[in-house]
Structure 1
Amino acid sequence: MAESAPLQGLSLIENGWFIEKNAQWPGQANALEVKEVLLHKKTKFQDLLVFASAKHGNVIVLDGVIQITERDEMSYQEMLAHLPMFSADKPTHVLIIGGGDGGVLREVVKHDTVEKVTWCEIDGDVVEAAKKYMPNVAVAVSNPKTELLVGDGVAFAESSKENSFDVIIVDSSDPVGPAEKLFSKEFYVNVHRILKPGGVVCSQGECLWLNEDLIDAMVTDYGACFASAEYASIQVPTYPSGQIGAFIARKAGTAGPASCRSPRREPPAGMPLRYYTAEMHAAAFALPAFLRKRLKAVEGSPEKRPRLSWQ
């Protein structure tokens, strides 16, 4: 039975519905019908809720915000993983920061070139919850190529050696609480340092309808030390406004164009994909006029990096 009374803490269930209300997106809310609450606890870092929904399968919620539903998770997981993986040249060593549900990891290990995945997730309770309640998402957690480190991704980036990774994927929650330090110029200076020449970073880039200033900062400030820095759009119906972005940037030092707008190779015929295609890769970089104008207007001086590919 669904909870009939509100849960205590940040996660709210009323009259059998989970209601996502948050100061980060004032004046709007999202709701999913709940069949059964599977888990609700305070971890060391955040409020963790897992419930079985009426139409979207199992759902993981952190600090009152939906992170993943079984129905639409493939759009986010596949795009956040394959945009950088197919933009990189035969990536062998990949770093994933965050992504406690294991979905991005599942997608990364589909690439035959990958020899090792270093996965740094701050909250081990999220990993355990995903293994129990979303096994099809967390299917690669025990993959022999994977090294799971439960710890702070910011500190890990600071301590890692220069030129260590071909691809870095930052699958973070919103820029409050445990993920706040992942949205800073200092973090991306370290990301740039530990990427190999020509390497690619791709991060959860927030919503273009709600976070225009942050997207501006990511592309123009955080991306200033990279050869290219761009924003791609992903459709996720259960996220605020039905949209989320990927901030993607390439370190200088590779042959070919710096932009990540076009994949460098096609997905193999046998790769199991439900959302990502080469066409979806290219289409993700088609932005609405207001955001395109904003990013073009504040691009900054030409010595910061090459001009964005639409200019």
Structure 2
Amino acid sequence: MTIRTDTRNNKWFCEANSQFWPGQEFSIEIEEILYQQRSKYQDVLVFKSKTYGNVLVLDDCIQCTERDEFAYQEMAAFLPLLSHPDPKRVLIIGGGDGGVIREVVKHPQVEEVILCEIDEDVIDVSKKYLPNMAQGFANSKVTVIICDGCEYLKQHTNEFDVIITDSSDPDGPAEVLFEEPYYLLMKAALKQPYGIICCQAECIWLDLPLIKKLVRIGSRLFPSVAYANVSTPTYPCGALGFLVCSLNENAKLTEPNNIKLANELNTKYYTADIHRACFALPAFVRKELEDMNK
């Protein structure tokens, strides 16, 4: 972890990773370090910041802040849920902070949510220091299972309407979640014929080769695939994406299937218009993805 002190003796958390975002760093001023321990799988840090509220950091990478977390959580939840005709049973891989759960249970058709998180420490820390996100754990629809997501999927086939992968970057325990065998496991765990997955798929400004790889994997396995770009201030370059894939060849992933519901979900970021707009990609990204098929 890099903590620097400026000329005014203020402390700053500095996120810099030469592998994933070379030549740049992002800094947030620290008011107080609330928690810092090594779990079984990763370094876990929570600090109170000057302007972003409490911040969760795993292996020196910012996962969420109280100020802007809703953008990621809402989009991860409602892009797939509002593309499925009847999303009753939902599986979340990762997401130990509870934010995606909080959003998923807002959908009136959802009857059961399984959260599969490998690191129980992330859940415990989030309940204590990120209570607004972790409130979803108290919902009666939610069951939490502490285990490896890949191993869980191997034991469950044709069970879920929607699978959401809320992962950290492709390093450490999350690395396998960006490979084709994992996508095969998700596909097998989906119910026919409308099953949908939504996976964290990195940043268009830094990770275009990886995004192309993920789109290529998705296109080999699913008849309907789309990439969404989301504004998230405290992620590298202020952007993060999701790969959404459906078993239904006629799925309209870029259009919410219930506009009235999409605009009545008590959200801060997601709307029907935002759902449509996030799939409108910059020309350089669109060209790279289109060139894959030539």
Could you state the TM-score of these two structures normalised by the residue count of structure 1? Answer: 0.90
Q: Distance in 1 between matches of 2:234 and 2:188?
A: 35
Percent identity, please: 47
User: What one-letter code is carried by the residue in structure 2 that aligns with 1:241?
Assistant: C
SS of 2:162's partner is strand
Q: Distance in 2 between matches of 1:137 and 1:274?
A: 14
Q: List per-residue Cα deviations over 1:152-180 (Å, max 9, x = no partner).
A: 0011112212x210100000000010001
State whether residues 171 and 203 of structure 1, in contact with CA within 8 Å, keep that contact through their aligned partners in structure 2: yes
State whether residues 228 and 249 of structure 1, in contact with CA within 8 Å, keep that contact through their aligned partners in structure 2: yes
1:7 alignment partner in structure 2: none
State whether residues 83 and 251 of structure 2, in contact with CA within 8 Å, keep that contact through their aligned partners in structure 1: no
User: What one-letter code is carried by the residue in structure 2 that aligns with 1:299?
Assistant: N
Deviation at 1:13, TM superposition (A): 1.4
Q: Distance in 2 between matches of 1:152 and 1:46?
A: 14
Give the unaligned 5+ runs of structure 1: 1-10, 301-311
Superposed, which structure 2 residues align to 1:1-311 within 5 Å?
11-15=1-5, 16-23=11-18, 24-161=20-157, 163-196=158-191, 197-252=193-248, 257-268=250-261, 270-299=264-293
Q: Distance in 2 between matches of 1:177 and 1:148?
A: 22
Deviation at 1:93, TM superposition (A): 0.2
Q: List per-residue Cα deviations over 1:244-303 (Å, max 9, x = no partner).
A: 0001000137xxx32301011125365211000000000000111111111111136xxx
SS of 2:216's partner is helix
Q: Distance in 2 between matches of 1:276 and 1:105?
A: 15
Q: How many residues align?
A: 286
State whether residues 164 and 194 of structure 1, in contact with CA within 8 Å, keep that contact through their aligned partners in structure 2: yes
Q: Distance in 1 between matches of 2:116 and 2:90?
A: 11
Q: List per-residue Cα deviations over 1:71-110 (Å, max 9, x = no partner).
A: 0001100011100010111210000000110000000000
2:8 alignment partner in structure 1: none
Between 191-200 and 174-183, report the one with greater CA deviation.
191-200
Q: Distance in 2 between matches of 1:81 and 1:223?
A: 21
Deviation at 1:194, TM superposition (A): 1.1
SS of 1:82's partner is helix
Q: Distance in 2 between matches of 1:124 and 1:34?
A: 25
| Ranges of 4+ aligned residues in structure 1 off by more than 6 Å | none
Could you state the TM-score of these two structures normalised by the residue count of structure 2? Answer: 0.95
Query: Hey, which of these two has a bigger chunk of helix by percent?
Result: 2
State whether residues 229 and 259 of structure 1, in contact with CA within 8 Å, keep that contact through their aligned partners in structure 2: no
Q: List per-residue Cα deviations over 1:179-221 (Å, max 9, x = no partner).
A: 0111111111111111112111001010011111111011112
SS of 2:197's partner is strand
Q: Distance in 2 between matches of 1:62 and 1:30?
A: 15
Q: Distance in 2 between matches of 1:139 and 1:169?
A: 18
SS of 1:94's partner is strand
Instruction: Indicate the RMSD between aligned Cα atoms, in angstroms.
Output: 1.1
